[in-house]
């Protein structure tokens, strides 16, 4: 099997996985659905149309598949990567910073993660998965995994600190842990893709 075919298959798998994960988060996770209704405001009626949701899922699956294929084939279009990163950052900022308007508070207890898992483990999973792309992108832009992980931590802390100050949410150490886990997973995912692309460098 040629490298091109392998790259297409792996990219297709990445796209399908993205579609299924996003479908699970948007449709099956109650807290995510509630967040979307808040963010969309008077346009929340769009969520009642399956075609809208399917189109959104398909678009993001194709974007991820193309991004993966470029990494594997070493034919990277930087304008595409920059645009995709900007698109992701916009979605991330909207979800993180505007999901809880008017709320302010603090949670410094990392052990409360067990309560959150017991009450709604899907919310914890969402906080992890949401930040995997951040780790992927920052690993692409930085020299090594340590640097990209530290950049992720800095951005996560900035968002968490700003939320209570601007009355847009709660500073939650559990969110920081989950977001960092997702980001580091994204960094390691890029390392895995690059090692597959350059097996001689292992």
As a whole-number percent, the residues of the chain with pLDDT over 70 amount to 97
Considering the domain architecture, whether residues 60 and 101 belong to the same structural domain is answered as no
Q: Which of 76, 111, 126 is the last residue of a domain?
A: 76
First vs last C-alpha separation in the chain: 22
Tell me the pTM: 0.83
What is the pLDDT of the chain when averaged over all its residues? Answer: 88
Say yes or no: 88 and 106 in one domain: yes
State how far the alpha carbon of 153 is from the alpha carbons of 33, 104, 159, 177, 180, in Å: 27, 21, 10, 9, 6
Residue 139: which domain range?
Answer: 81-202
| Residue written as token pair 């886990």 | 181
pLDDT average, residue stretch 126-139: 91
User: For residue 201, is pLDDT > 60?
Assistant: no
pLDDT band at 61 (very low <50, low <70, confident <90, very high): very high
Task: Indicate the number of domains in the chain.
Answer: 2
Q: What pLDDT, on the 0 to 100 scale, is given for residue 195?
A: 77
Question: At which of 50, 76, 102 does a domain end?
Answer: 76
The tokens describing 33, both together, are: 């659905």
- Which among 39, 54, 76 is the end of a domain? 76
Q: Decide if 152 contacts 177 (C-beta within 8 A).
A: no
Q: What is the pLDDT of residue 202?
A: 40
pLDDT value at 58 more than 80: yes
91 and 174 fall within a common domain = yes
């Amino acid at each position: 099997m040629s490298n091109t075919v392998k790259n297409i298959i792996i990219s297709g798998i990445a796209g399908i996985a993205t579609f299924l994960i996003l479908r699970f988060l948007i449709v099956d996770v109650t807290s995510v659905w509630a967040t979307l209704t808040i963010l969309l405001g008077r346009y929340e009626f769009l969520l009642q149309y399956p075609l809208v949701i399917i189109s959104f899922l398909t678009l993001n699956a194709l974007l991820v598949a193309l991004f993966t294929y470029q990494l594997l084939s070493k034919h990277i279009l930087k304008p595409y990567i920059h645009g995709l990163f900007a698109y992701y950052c916009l979605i991330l900022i909207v979800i993180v910073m505007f999901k809880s308007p008017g709320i302010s508070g603090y949670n410094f207890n990392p052990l409360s993660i067990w309560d959150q898992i017991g009450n709604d483990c899907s919310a914890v999973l969402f906080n992890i998965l949401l930040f995997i792309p951040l780790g992927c992108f920052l690993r692409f832009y930085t020299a090594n995994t340590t640097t990209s992980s530290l950049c992720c931590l800095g951005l996560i802390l900035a968002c968490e600190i700003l939320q209570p100050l601007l009355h847009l949410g709660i500073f939650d150490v559990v969110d920081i842990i989950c977001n960092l886990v997702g980001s580091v997973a994204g960094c390691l995912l890029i390392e895995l893709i690059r090692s597959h692309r350059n097996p001689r460098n292992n």
